[in-house]
């Protein structure tokens, strides 16, 4: 992706993903982290606070 699409990937661990979600305004207890089946890519599924 980096070479062909000029899309810079930033690899993060679980703690960094949780921190990023919190800084972005997502509700901490509504952020769930999941790895895809191969265990390589980490995804965050989050819900924003509605105020």
Give the contacts of 49 (CB within 8 A, at least 6 positions apart).
25, 26, 27
Q: Write down the pLDDT at residue 4.
A: 83
pTM, entire model: 0.70
> What does the pLDDT look like over 1-51, one tens digit per residue?
777 888 888 889 999 999 999 999 888 788 999 999 999 889 999 887 666
Distances (CA, A) of 32 to 2, 4, 19, 46: 27, 31, 12, 6
pLDDT of res. 42: 92
| Cβ proximity of 33 and 44 under 8 Å | yes
The pLDDT score that the predictor gives to residue 38 is 94
Three-state DSSP class for 38? coil
pLDDT value, residue 43: 92
């Amino acid at each position: 992706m980096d070479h062909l699409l000029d899309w810079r990937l930033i690899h993060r661990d679980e703690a960094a993903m949780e921190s990023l979600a919190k800084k972005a305004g997502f509700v901490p207890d509504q952020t769930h982290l999941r790895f895809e089946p191969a265990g390589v890519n980490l995804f965050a599924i989050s819900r924003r606070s509605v105020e």
